Amino acid sequence: MKKVDLIVIGAGPAGIGAAVEAKLKGKEVVLLEKADAICQTFVKFYKDGKRVDKEYKGHDSTNRGHIPFEDGTKESSLATFEEALKANNIELELNSEVESVKKSGENFIITTPKQSYECKNIIVAIGRMGKPNKPDYKIPATLNKVVNFNANSVQEGEKIIIIGGGNSAAEYAVDLASKHKVTLCYRRDKFTRLNDINLNDVETAAKEGKITLKLGVDISEVQDENGKVKMLFNDGSSEVYDRAIYAIGGSTPVDFLQKCGIEVDDKGVPVFDAHKQSNVKGIFVAGDIATKNGASIVVGLNDGVIINDYLA
């Protein structure tokens, strides 16, 4: 069993930020990531070349941490976080999904498939993207390959429908519009959750005829039409697409929080104090997991500062 001051669970921006701030304050810290690479939200949900904004969804964009994150792309942002780990000599363990957290006297015991750790404090920074939201109507299993929850499988020239009204849906639509025939479908009459840049990009692309907007219309059924996606809309219309991408958010991995004994509210958001400490003394929450709708990279980085200032 390895003994350290702090275990950080999840190597996204919030977890990496928290580990770096802890190390700079002289703490012995290990960062555990379940996947075989860091920043899985970038890897799985950002399209290659995606613009990454420091000011995102109107969240605080003043970075109070020591990782020099600036506006850039998916690739430059990944490089920034890789470099921060290297420059600060952070002990990162990949393929280390945390399965359980147990209290042992004043300390905690954490078990991964590779090793067990004993630590004084834990920062949970597992994000919210583990489980993308799915629509409540049934999607035929035969369409699994062409009904997706990110844009990774898109083939050039496809006719695509993107469902959702948030920044992810807008960014997928605008990015894909240059090489595909794209429809953006949102059940409300207008976009209320987009940041200014994305709202402007969507409106411009729609005006220029690069994307088709289908607003105020919901999908009532999805059918398999010879391997293509037939969407039946609640206004009585229907249309066939090569591919559908649902970008309708993700839910808090409540099971994990509850396994740690962390109290969650009726929306599945953990309960915490001004230092981001949960009801379990010694367990803190950082980044998207501490929010209802997800936050931003800078918010995640700043959470690491708040927690480590308190622990110092």
Ligand X SMILES: Cc1cc2nc3c(=O)[nH]c(=O)nc-3n(C[C@H](O)[C@H](O)[C@H](O)COP(=O)(O)OP(=O)(O)OC[C@H]3O[C@@H](n4cnc5c(N)ncnc54)[C@H](O)[C@@H]3O)c2cc1C
Q: What does the buried/exposed string (b/e) look like for 79-109 if buried means 16 or more CB atoms within 10 Å of the residue's CB? A: ebbeebbeebebebbeebbbeebeeeeebbe
In the set 7, 31, 78, 129, which binds ligand X (CB under 6 A)? 129
How many chain residues touch ligand X (CB under 6 A)?
38
Binding-site string for ligand X from residue 192 to residue 231, where x marks contact by CB under 6 A and - marks none: ----------------------------------------
Considering only residues 48 to 67 of the shown chain, the ones binding ligand X according to CB under 6 A are 52-53, 56
Backbone dihedral angles phi then psi of residue 241, each to the nearest 5 degrees: -125, 155
Nearer to ligand X, 241 or 256 (CB): 256
> 269: which DSSP letter?
P
By beta-carbon proximity to ligand X, the closer residue of 13 and 214 is: 13
Q: Which is nearer to ligand X, 72 or 282 (CB)?
A: 72
Q: Which stretch binds ligand X (CB under 6 A): 6-14, 136-144, 181-189, 274-282?
A: 6-14
Min. distance of Cβ 266 from ligand X in angstroms?
22
Interface with ligand X, residue 15, by CB under 6 A: yes
**Please, which of residues 68-127 interact with ligand X by CB under 6 A?**
97-98, 125-127
Q: DSSP letters of 159-222?
A: EEEEE-SSHHHHHHHHHHTTTSEEEEEESSSS--S--HHHHHHHHHHHHTTSEEEEES--EEEE
Minimum distance from residue 144 beta carbon to ligand X (Å) = 21
Residue 60, helix vs strand vs coil: coil
Out of 295, 305, 306, 307, the only residue in the binding site for ligand X (CB under 6 A) is 295
CB of 33 to ligand X, least distance (A): 5
Helix (H, G, I), strand (E, B) or coil at 35: coil
Q: Does 305 bind ligand X (CB under 6 A)?
A: no
Q: Give me the helices (H) in the chain, please.
A: 13-24, 40-45, 74-87, 167-176, 196-207, 254-259, 297-311
Q: How far is the CB of 210 from ligand X (least distance, A)?
A: 19
Phi, psi of 173 (to 5 degrees): -60, -50
| Residue 127 or 311 having the CB closest to ligand X | 127
- Give the nearest distance from C-beta 262 to ligand X in angstroms: 13
The β-bridge partners of 225 are 228
List, in sequence order, every residue forming a beta bridge with 230; answer none if it has no partner.
Answer: 223, 240
**Residue closer to ligand X (CB basis): 34 or 243:** 34
Minimum CB–partner distance for residue 138 and ligand X (Å): 25
10 binds ligand X (CB under 6 A): yes
Q: Which of the residues 235 through 294 are near ligand X (CB under 6 A)?
A: 256, 287-289, 294
The correct pick among 7, 14, 67, 305 for binding ligand X (CB under 6 A) is 14
Task: Give the CA distances from residue 291 to residues 57, 129, 138, 183, 303, in Å, rounded to whole numbers and listed in that order.
Answer: 13, 12, 28, 30, 11
Rounded to whole angstroms, how far apart are CA atoms 70 and 123? 24
- For residues 296 and 62, give the distance between their C-alpha atoms in angstroms, rounded to a whole number: 11
Work out the angle between the directed axes of helices 13-24 and 297-311 (0-180°, nearest 10): 30
**What residues line the site for ligand X (CB under 6 A)?**
9-15, 32-35, 39-41, 45-46, 52-53, 56, 97-98, 125-127, 129-130, 168, 171, 256, 287-289, 294-298, 300
